[in-house]
Amino acid sequence: MMSNVKARALRERLAKGEFILAPGIYDGISARVADKMGFPALYMTGYGATASMLGLPDAGLATYSDMVGRAEMICSVVQTPLIADADTGYGGLLNVQRTVRGYEAAGVAAIQIEDQEMPQKCVHTPGRRVVPAEEMVLKIKVAAEARRHPETMIVARTDARTAHGLDEALRRAKLYEQAGADVIFVESPESEAELECIGREVEKPLLANMVEYGKTPRVEADRLKKWGFDLAIYPGLGFSVAAEAMRLAWEHLKLQGTSTGMNVPQYRGMHELMGFQEVWEFEKRWPQ
């Protein structure tokens, strides 16, 4: 059996007690920038991927094919292990099997599946509904069995906190641990006290979502680790600052009729970032 090298590296870092801080990426540029920063993992955000691919909200509009294609592209240009949002698994149990195998083949190290009803809705937005816990337990069991590489990690997310309260979210978290999930993700706790409670109750590696302007307070990595968390994702940070920087730059261009004098930082070295040096070296060896 072949090995998922990036997944094994991520597992080993978790086993050593290293806290995994993962920035949210969503396209080729964000992936390449983050890959050079030395993070232990990257997180493919469904919100960002949907927005950058379709220009639409993360409301169940991106398909399995859309998302697995985006994951494959990202994995092809980065060396860092990728944790990837796979929504609900895109359907029933057979869909979950296909999703896990497709994401694995794309190069993903950890696959996140949630217990929302379809169509899935973005985290920290109203109206999210969850399936019965028993249905999600089956999805986790199928996902674990579907892996072709034992190192590949299954991240089980519950969205039960918002509609059903913290106790139900914790009940589900424990069921999902027993079902074979490698990482537990209790979504949308609403206070630091709730984060601490989750950290005490969950035994498997635990993921915190530090989303910008969401329901959960943003807490620094040291305190999250102290409370029992092992990973933290920042899915919205990259695209929110990128969008604001573009808005400011284009506002200056519209008002001034030029980009000179613009007080917005620009990435210097885009040719190097995108790999043009390899193209130029190839062209030297193979002149036309």
Q: Which domains does the chain have, with CATH numbers?
A: 5-242 (3.20.20.60)
Find the mean pLDDT for residues 183-187: 98
pLDDT at 121: 64
pLDDT at 120: 74
CA-based nearest residue to 50, from 218, 229, 236, 219 = 236
For 19-70, what is each residue's pLDDT tens digit?
999 999 999 999 999 999 999 999 999 999 999 999 999 999 999 999 999 9
Answer yes or no: is pLDDT of 126 > 70.
no
**Mean pLDDT, the chain, integer:** 96
Q: Which residues contact 59 (CB under 8 A, 6 or more apart)?
A: 119, 120, 121, 122
Range of weakest confidence among 2-16, 78-92, 226-240: 2-16
pLDDT at 143: 98
pLDDT at 125: 59
For 201-223, what is each residue's pLDDT tens digit?
999 999 999 999 899 999 999 99
Find the mean pLDDT for residues 97-109: 98
pLDDT range class, residue 1, cuts 50, 70, 90? very low
Residue 185 forms beta bridges with which residues? 157, 207
For 231-243, what is each residue's pLDDT tens digit?
999 999 999 999 9
pLDDT at 122: 63
pLDDT range class, residue 128, cuts 50, 70, 90? confident
For 132-164, what is each residue's pLDDT tens digit?
999 999 999 999 999 999 999 999 999 999 999
Find the mean pLDDT for residues 244-271: 97
What is the percent of the chain with per-residue pLDDT over 70, rounded to a whole number? 97
pLDDT at 123: 60
The structure's pTM equals 0.95
